[in-house]
Chain A
Amino acid sequence: MNSSETLSQLVGQTLTGVAEDLSVARLAVRDGVARLTSNFYEFRERLKLQGEELHAVARTLEGDKANGGTGFIQDMNGIVSRFVEDLVMVSASSVRLVQRVDEMGLDIEQVMRNLGRIESLASETRFIALNARIEAHRAGEVGMTFRVVADEVKSLADDASSFSAQIRGLVERTEGRLFESRLTVGKLASHDMNGALEAQRQVLSALEQLGATNARVSGSLVEVEKQVTETVRALQFEDMVTQLLDAASRRLEAVRALWLEWVAHAAAAPASNPHVDDAPTAPPADDNPAERTI
């Protein structure tokens, strides 16, 4: 009687415990899967945001092509182009200035030639004045007036020579300054273009790299989103597990009901069953095969 009751209690407790465990497991699975699913959804949302931010950065750099906008890189390219355009204009103007300076140089040569002619005229005049003075001297008293005129002519010739020398000095100084200007303007005209070429190359390569990176990032974002969606779909195993656990609970409940029925039946047995009468205090456990099959 004592061991039978203990066994009965033990089985009853075990069945109840298993039922409780199943219910806890069911809740744990449902809860865990719900949390995993929501985490994955959040993960996907954050990835999407990250992707949008990356695209925004790319748009700033690359420009919104669809709307005909220009981005930072295109602007940089424009700056390089404008810089080159200005550089070429400065060079063309400088070369034109050099042309003008060379023309001025030709004019100066002409001025110098004319000065040479003035100087030789002055020296001829001086020579004539000298001859006139000699002739005047030879004429004596009669030539006095003529001598004064000859001296005056000589003095004019000397003035012409001196002016001519002054002009020559000024023109030579101007020629020197002109030559210096020509050198300076020549330098102004001459700029190496390789720096601009390199700048343009870098801008274009940055644009190309950005395009490739953008495409790569977009590609992997699409891939990750697909995987998250697939993972979330895979998490739907929760339904199946819950159903299985529900089925197990139902089956357990049926077993428990059977067991209670059996216990009730065994308790009523001593009165109706002669076979059990012999040993009423030591019922099923070891010798009742029906108990073992349950």
Chain B
Amino acid sequence: MINVHRDNDALTLRISGKFNFSCYKEFQDAVAGPAPARYVVDLSKAEYIDSSALGMLLLLREKVGDDAGRVVIRSGAGQPSEVLKLANFQRLFTVN
């Protein structure tokens, strides 16, 4: 499930449970429209992510002109954090 929060310069997507292809529509709807100064994808409440989640994050990065500073990922702990490390996402995003 994706909880969307918008403030002045950031759009925060708080994702809980499983982040996989079943979230695609919700994710697309959430990030549709003009890009904010930065997106914050909060995975601290996510339990599981698969490769399609990584694909969606990469496309979001493309949307902001491959600017690593404009997509912030809060990785939390557990499987999502390990998968992000395995995919070397700290090179492509601001992961904290």
Contact = CB atoms under 8 A, between A and B. Distances in A.
B17 interface: no
Contact of A92 (B24, B55, B86): B55
Contacts of A102: 28
Contact of A95 (B56, B82, B87, B88): B56
Contacts of A81: 86, 88
Contact of A98 (B24, B83, B88): B24
A213 interface: no
Interface in B44-58: 49-52, 54-56, 58
A194 to B, nearest CB: 7
Q: What is the predominant secondary structure among interface residues of chain A facing chain B?
A: helix
Interface residues of A, number: 26
A197 B79 CA distance: 9
Interface string B67-95: 00000000000010011001110000000
B49 A186 contact: no
A96 interface: yes
A197 B52 contact: no
Interface centre among B55, B56, B83 (most CB of A within 10 A): B55
Q: What is the predominant secondary structure among interface residues of chain B facing chain A?
A: helix
A87 interface: yes
Contact of B21 (A85, A190, A194): A190
A45 B49 CA distance: 56
Contacts of B87: 84-85, 88, 193
Interface in A52-111: 81, 84-85, 87-88, 90-96, 98-99, 102
Interface of B: 20-21, 24, 28, 49-52, 54-56, 58-59, 79, 82-83, 86-88
Given A186-B52, A189-B55, 19 more contacts: A81-B88, A85-B87, A85-B88, A93-B55, A94-B52, A94-B55, A95-B24, A95-B52, A95-B55, A95-B56, A95-B59, A186-B21, A189-B51, A190-B52, A191-B50, A192-B51, A193-B79, A194-B79, A197-B82
